[in-house]
Each structure stands twice: as C-alpha cells, then as structure tokens.
Chain A
Amino acid sequence: MAMADRPLTSYIQPGRQPLDIAGYERAGGYAAMRKAFGMSPESVVEEVKRAKVRGRGGAGFPAGRKWEGAPRGADAPRHRYLVINADEMEPGSFKDRLLLEAAPHLMIEGIIIGAFAVQAETAYIFVRGEYVLAMERLSRAVAEAEARGYLGADILGSGFSLTIHVHGSGGRYICGEASALFSALEGKRAVPRTRPPRSTTSGLWGKPTVVNNVETLCCVPSIIERGADWFLGLSRSATEGGTKLYGVSGRVNRPGLWELPVGTPLNEIIEEHAGGMREGYEARAVLPGGASTAFIMRENFDVPMDFDSVGKIGSWLGTANILVLDQKRCPVGLLRNIEHFFAQESCGWCTPCRDGLPWVERILTALEAGEGEPDDIELLAHHVDFLGPGRTFCDLAPGAMAPLRSGLKFFREEFERHVSERHCPWHDTAEGWA
C-alpha cells in the first residue's frame, strides 16, 4: 500500500522512535484538528459514522453511533468526559502498544477531534501500568501540544477547551471493561457497574462519558482530513471502513503487526505478511483476536478479517491480533493457560465468574496432569453454559468461555485422549523452548 493509504502507521518511523510535534506537523499532522474546528461537532460525528469505523478494542460497536449517543446541546449535563481505553491486556494483543509508543501525536490529535465531536472538556488516557514507555511518550506529547495551544482553554480560538490526563493503571484486566475502568479512575476497586444506565448517560463520576479504544481514535484524523468516502475506499469489506492493525504471533516466520485493508483474508495475513509457518510447524487453528475469541479452524482460513465475516463463522474479530496454534502445542494446555488467566483476573464480584472460572481451571489442570475423569468433559461443557452470556455481571466470564466452547467442539478427540491415555499427549514437549 502507498504511504497515503496507511492512515494509522504512516507517521511511524523505522525503529519506532516517535515524531516530535514539529516533525508530526511537517508530515501533515494536526491539519485534521484545524479542519474539525471549522466544522460543527455534529458534522464530525456524521463523517465518522459514514466512515463505518467499528470499535477496535474488540467489541466492534460503530464509533459514530457511540458518539451520537453522547448528550449535546445547551441543556445537556456537564462535565463531560472522553476516556481512552489504552489498557491493552487481552492476551495475544499488542497493537495499541505500537500506536501509543510510536505515534503519540496521532493519538492526541484523535483525542482532540473526538472530544470536540462529543463536546467533552476532559479526557483521560487510561494506560496499562506496564506500558512505561507509552506513558512517557504520551506525557511528553501532551506537554508539547499544551505548549502549542492545542490543549487548554479556547483551543486556536475555537471556543473549545480540553485537558488531557495520562493515568497509569495499577494493573488488572477487568479495568478494560468500561464501567470497571470508571471505578479504577475514581480510585476504587475496579469492579464493573450495572447497565443501564449507559456510560453516555452516567459514566465517570456519574457524568456523561464516551469510551473509545486507542486504534479507533487514531482512525479519526484521517477520516476528517480526507473524508469518509476515501476511508471507506481503503477497506476490502462492504460493512466496515478503513485499514486495521493486524497482528500475528505463534510459530510463524515473521511475527508482527501490519496495517492492511479491513477485510484482508486470514490466510493472506498469515502466509504473505507473517511469512507462513516455521519449518516443521503446521497451523491447526487460530484465535483471531485475543484469548476471549473462539477458535477458527483451517477450513475457514479464507475468512475476510472483519467483524461481520468472522462473526458468521462463529468466532469474533476481537482485537484482530491473531495467535496461531500449531500441531506441536496441546490445545487443552493452551486452554488451561487461558482459563488460568481469566480465573486470576476475575474481579470476584459475581459468583459464577468468581467460583466457576477457578473450577474450570482446576479441571483443565487435572486433564493436563493425566488426572482427568470421564465426566470432566461434560462438566466443562456445563460451565460453558453456566458462565455464558447473560449469566454474569459483565462480559469477562462469557469471553473466557468462547475459546473453551469452541475448543470442546473442535478438539473433542484431544480432550478424550487426555482422559483415556492418562496423560497429555504433548507432555514430552510441553515445557520446551519454541
């Protein structure tokens, strides 16, 4: 793709050293912000809505429609907040780190335009605590933007004012859940809240709040500058616009991230961009977008990687950071690793999640140790239903069950072998280096 067709990564230099504000402006940065200030907030929302950007944190909610839900007008309650969810902790996902570390001014410009669109006067960037370099670079970029008058009161005479705070998390996966994130920012245990009300009605400190993912907001400057039609034209998908940061990890030749048209097929990403599997390894399945997405098996590797297409084959695009499972790692062991993560990161608020996930982990650990019982597979299937959508306070446990549900379907034989052979069929290589 030409440079102009890579709105997310065109500002990123080799070595990931970020541009300072002068370099970013020389490369065309902050032009979209100036253009947005000449538009009405409503027309900015309309443009983003037409561009069909779907939430890049993994939920896939249309960004323009989310912005439309924010209260506006003279009677709307104030204060209003924009919260940037930079709490990248979905196992297997590493895309937001790249944008935060290597394109901090694109992030800031996206935030300014987004805050203008929803008329928020304060923005919080909620960064996971381990992203130390990202926090340093964001804080520097905020200071540079303040010094230029791009943040603060009455920005460039627009009448619009904005303050950005960078908050480093204390570290917990549940903070990525929007309502739990509010609890975290308020200095409480990060426990999710009841919905409704929606966060655009009652969010941070009970005020209207819009929460957007890092990559979602990084799409916005180019949409405003070049228009929704141009953005739609970048995509290979009819239902979604733009480009996407696709990632691949696992035993491929070139693990990494690539900005590609939305809807690029899975096998093309793995073969052409990640260089295919390492010699001696075969791809059996992938998790397409993090630990809370269902397996995609080889027969579906031609799926276009967009939310609708991946949804149609029973999985979910999630973060579109793909983990490849090869034939030399045990699918049950992989699921045990995933359920250990979810059991540990459960906030403990609701019983099915708090008690159910450790039980699931214990069963999988027993299977791996060759101590599984014939009923264990049915017990796991029971948990998949009991912890599924609608039974828990938030989406953590249903997300945890998505890979297990598909694993029980696609790897049934492997589960049964763990019981009948009284050991993990992969036990000889389970603790080896890649």
Chain B
Amino acid sequence: MSTAEHSPASAPLDAALRETIATFLRESETPRAAGIDALKAVQKRHGHVSDDHLAEVAALLGMTPAELDGVATFYNLIFRRPVGRHVILLCDSVACWVMGATAARNLLRQRLGIEPGETTPDGRFTLLPIVCLGCCDRAPAMMIGDDLHGNLTPERIDAILEQYR
C-alpha cells in the first residue's frame, strides 16, 4: 500500500520527470500523442497536474497550454485540482448500484466526513465516483490508488481504510 507523499505542485518539473517525458516523446509517433502518458507521470509524482506543470508539459509537447488543457480536462483520470494522498474511486455504475453502492457511498461520506469530490481536511483521502470498474462479480467495488477492492461491506470498508495512512 502506498504511503508516499506527493511532491509540491508549485516547483518546476525535476530533471528525472523531464527525462521520463523525453523518453515518451522519443517513443511516440507524434509529440502530442505522448500527452496522456506525460500528464500521468506528472500526476503520479505530484498527485495532480497544476497549471504550472501543465504549461511546462505543453511546452515539451509543442502545444499551447489551452490545447493540452482541452485534452487533460476531457479525461476522468487526469486530476487538475489537488487531491489527497489516496484517491478513492467508488464505482457508481449499475451492477454496483444493484449490490448496494449507494450504501457504500453513504458509509464513506460518514466515515470520511466529506462529500464525493472532496478531500479530507488532513489530506489523507479524496473521494470520487467512477464509472463501472469491471468488477461486477465482486460488487460493490472501489479502487484506492492502484488497488482494487471488491465485495465491500461496512466491516470491510473500515478495515480497508485503515490500510491507507
């Protein structure tokens, strides 16, 4: 389980990250086709893609910041605002709905004291709804970071949250 802190979103992209993006560019058929990979690399390090970082990546790809922002904001998994250390993606699609996703959402709201779209005051969790996670045989389901958790019950949710500090 991840315990990593995100690096500050205000500092310029460091050399290693710029080199990672340069590698994507070399392997890409066109510069802009490396955009999603580059944004994801920035997000992995910094938690989200800040305006400054977006502008830096755009320059590396030979795009305007507005062009790249048009791409970034289209996608569900590119975060343009700060998030907590752990992002909870709670499936809100139809199979999970049948199996109690509404109850799971209400329990998470209560335990975390936040609404979907918000981050806990201590910066530990961000709660987001997500479309069908393809885990319908173990519904209701959620992801925390890269980890998938299915067959959610009140007891399991409490135990799972404890694993993420």
Contact flag A170-B39 (CB < 8 Å), given A249-B136, A255-B138: yes
- A92→B132 CA distance, assembly (Å): 7
Measured CB to CB, the nearest residue on chain B to A170 is B75
Is A168 part of the binding interface, using a Cβ–Cβ cutoff of 8 Å?
yes
Q: Mark each residue of chain A from 346 to 357: 1 if its CB lies under 8 Å from any CB of chain B, else 0.
A: 010000000000
B30, B40, B75: most-surrounded residue (chain A CB, <10 A):
B75
Residues of A within 8 A of B22 (CB): none
A187 with B77: in contact, given A131-B134, A431-B106 (CB under 8 Å)?
Answer: no
Q: Closest CB of chain A to B132's CB: distance in Å?
A: 4
Chain B residues within an 8 Å CB radius of A434: 98-100, 139-140
Q: Report the stretch among B9-17, B86-94, B119-127 that lies at the interface.
A: B86-94
Residues of B within 8 A of A169 (CB): 36, 75, 77
Query: Within the complex, what minimum Cβ distance (angstroms) separates A379 from chain B?
Result: 22
A46 to B89 Cα, complex, angstroms: 44
B74 touching A91 by the CB < 8 A rule? no
Whether the Cβ atoms of B131 and A345 lie closer than 8 Å is yes
Once bound together, how far apart are the Cα atoms of A97 and B148, in whole Å?
12
CB pair B94–A432 under 8 Å, yes or no, is no
Chain B residues within an 8 Å CB radius of A132: 146
Establish whether residues A321 and B98, one from each chain, have CB atoms under 8 Å apart when the complex forms.
no
B131 and A187 contacting across the interface, CB-CB below 8 Å: no
What's the interface size class on A, roughly?
A: 35 or more
- Within 8 Å by CB of B76, from A92, A171, A185, lies A171
Contacts of A256 in B (CB 8 A): 137
Q: Are B94 and A433 in contact (CB under 8 A)?
A: no
**Cβ-defined partner of A189 (8 Å) among B29, B71, B94:** B71
| Contact partner, A171, options B75, B146, B148, Cβ 8 Å | B75
Judging by beta carbons under 8 Å apart, are A291 and B100 in contact? Answer: no
| B60 sits at the interface (CB 8 A) | no
How big is chain B's contact interface, by range? Answer: 35 or more
A257 CB to closest chain B CB (Å) equals: 7
Set of chain B residues within 8 Å of A17, measured between Cβ atoms? none
Partner of B33, one of A173, A185, A430: A185
Q: Are A337 and B30 in contact (CB under 8 A)?
A: no
A251 lies within 8 A of B98 (CB)? yes
Is the pair B30, A172 in contact by a Cβ cutoff of 8 Å? no
* C-alpha spacing A251/B137, complex, angstroms: 10
The answer for the CA separation of A338 and B95 in the assembled complex, in Å, is 10
* Residue B135, interface by CB 8 Å: yes
Of chain B, the residue at the smallest CB distance from A88 is B134
A291 touches B97 (CB 8 A): no
- Give chain B residues whose Cβ lies under 8 Å from the Cβ of A340: 92
Contact with A along B55-70 (1 / 0, CB 8 A): 0000001000000001
Give Cα A103–Cα B139 distance, bound, in whole angstroms: 23
**A338:B71 contact, CB within 8 angstroms:** no
Looking at the assembled complex, report how far the CB atom of B15 sits from the nearest CB atom of chain A, in whole angstroms.
24
State the Cβ distance, A277 to closest chain B Cβ, in Å: 12
- Report chain B residues within 8 Å CB of A271: none
Query: Is A247 located at the chain interface by the 8 A CB criterion?
Result: yes
B76 to A170, Cβ gap below 8 A?
yes
A336: min CB distance to chain B, Å = 9
> Are A249 and B137 touching (Cβ within 8 A)?
yes
Cα-based distance from A145 to B77 in the complex (angstroms): 30
Q: Does A190 contact B (CB under 8 A)?
A: yes
CB distance from A164 to the nearest CB of B (A): 12
A248 to B136, CA, bound (A): 8
A431 to B103, CA, bound (A): 5
> Told that A323-B136, A324-B98, A341-B132 touch, could you supply 4 new A-B pairs with CB distance under 8 A?
A130-B143, A133-B148, A205-B29, A430-B102
Q: Give me 28 A-to-B residue pairs in the complex whose CB atoms sit less than 8 angstroms apart, sorted by A's number.
A: A89-B132, A91-B94, A91-B132, A93-B136, A129-B77, A132-B146, A168-B36, A169-B77, A170-B39, A170-B74, A171-B75, A171-B78, A172-B75, A186-B32, A189-B70, A189-B71, A205-B29, A249-B136, A249-B137, A250-B95, A251-B99, A255-B136, A255-B139, A291-B94, A337-B94, A337-B97, A341-B92, A341-B132
Contact surface of B with A, Cβ cutoff 8 Å: 27, 29-37, 39-40, 61, 70-72, 74-78, 89, 92-95, 97-100, 102-104, 106, 130-140, 143, 146, 148, 153-154
